[in-house]
Amino acid sequence: MTTSVLITRHADNRYSARALALANVVASGASEAEAIAALRTTLAELHAHSHIVQVDVPLPTVPSDDPWLRTAGIWAHDPSWDAFQQAMAEYRAAIDAEHTDP
């Protein structure tokens, strides 16, 4: 696994390494390499007893002022909808054929 790490040098000349994907996972060391090694160990220990799952979170519905949305879906159960779509496709094909250069 590869992860992005933020390395910070502190005033006392120590370094901290923070996993950007897990911002609360931080390790420190006397050198940059030591901080990275400590973070690598910490992440390996964390991954050894953890797993990732996907969770669906319902989003709140936000009312919209878009006037088109009031009519969205009104033809969803209309039995003539498919015939209308077919007629539109045929009409567009005929128009395209008229405007095609020979």
Distance CA 35, CA 100 (A): 68
Tell whether 57 is covered by a domain.
no
In the 8-state DSSP scheme, what is residue 59?
Answer: P
Q: Which amino acid is at 40?
A: R
Tell whether 23 is covered by a domain.
yes
Q: Three-state SS for 84?
A: helix
- Domain range for 15: 5-48
pLDDT for 69-92, tens place per residue?
A: 888 888 889 999 999 999 999 999
The pTM of the whole model exceeds 0.85: no
CB 38, CB 17: distance < 8 Å: yes
Tell whether 61 is covered by a domain.
no
Lowest-confidence pick of 57-61, 89-93, 98-102 = 98-102
Confidence at residue 19, expressed as pLDDT on a 0 to 100 scale? 96
**Around 93, how many Cα atoms within 13 Å sit in the side-chain half-sphere?**
6
Tell whether 93 is covered by a domain.
no
Tell whether 102 is covered by a domain.
no
Q: How far is CA 49 from CA 2, 42, 52, 87, in A?
A: 18, 12, 11, 60
Tell whether 86 is covered by a domain.
no
Tell whether 43 is covered by a domain.
yes
Distance CA 3, CA 24 (A): 14
Tell whether 22 is covered by a domain.
yes
**For the chain, what is the domain count?**
1
Distance of CA 64 to the CA centre of its chain: 23
